[in-house]
Structure 1
């Protein structure tokens, strides 16, 4: 093999390794560490992070990028405090394709959240504000929606808690 060919192959190999490494973690580890310390990450990117089973009550994730994040079994319910209750803030957060199976989102503020293709199987959404949320192609099988606000929520291909499909927001 000629030196120039060897060099070119090495450069191509290293570029592909770097590309694979950047694809493996879509989030910034420093942002994740800060979030886990402060419980706040407005407008940050935690896409594809694994937060399964974590205690995240009262977290502030407004406008956060949480695509394909793993929150299975996580507790994102409201946090009772001495004089008030701090609701978990997921307003306008992008949770496309997120795994929220068996997550507790009771009383969470998630108006305008983008939950397209999210798996909310068995999730507790009791009292959650999901007004104007995008729930297209989401799976809500066995989810608890008691007292949830769904005004203006977008449904299309959404699997509802009873297993039926809701296509009321699909374009003709």
Structure 2
């Protein structure tokens, strides 16, 4: 029984820290980490201007107060991520999954978000001016003015 409890504890611990430190180091040095697993990483208050995160797992990643201007976030998985007060101006979010994402007060001006899934996302106070939302999925999504949007739900 004790062995089972120890094994269960180690599995839970290992899944809570999913990212590889080598991926974080590569990202910090090159601003590129495509097809990486950066889930559960704390990347808050960082400058990732023009970084390439395409096809990366960013589940539960904390980007609060980070700068991601012109970043490539196409086909990323950002479920449960924190992007509160982040600057994503002119970024590419095409086909990204942003389920349950916190985008409160985020700067999303001129962001391309074609077929991006914002199911249960919170965009309260976010700036979406000039963004391309063609085909975006808003399902139980809190919009900048606090209203709930169910477009393409």
Shorter-chain TM-score bucket reads over 0.9
Give TM-score scaled by structure 1 length: 0.84
Q: TM-score by structure 2 length?
A: 0.95
SS of corresponding position for 2:25:
helix
Runs of 4+ in 1 over 4 A off after TM superposition: none
RMSD: 1.3
- What residue number does 1:131 align with? 114
Distance 2:28 2:62 in 1: 14
Contact 2:97–2:117 (CA under 8 A) maintained in structure 1? yes
Q: Does structure 1 conserve the Cα–Cα contact (< 8 Å) formed by 2:135 and 2:152? A: no
Q: How far apart are the structure 2 equivalents of 1:134 and 1:34?
A: 28
Q: Deviations over 1:21-46 (max 9, x none)?
A: 30330111221121111110101100
Decide which of 64, 76, 81 is 1:93's aligned counterpart.
76
Look up the match of 1:167: 150
Counterpart of 1:152?
135
- Structure 1: give runs of 5+ residues left out of the alignment: 1-7, 78-86
Unaligned regions of 5+ residues in structure 2, if any?
none
**Deviation, structure 1 residue 13:** 4.5
Query: For 1:159 and 1:28, how far apart are their aligned partners in 2?
Result: 33
Deviation at 1:61, TM superposition (A): 0.2
| Equivalent residues, number | 153
Q: Deviations over 1:2-30 (max 9, x none)?
A: xxxxxx63x33542342233033011122
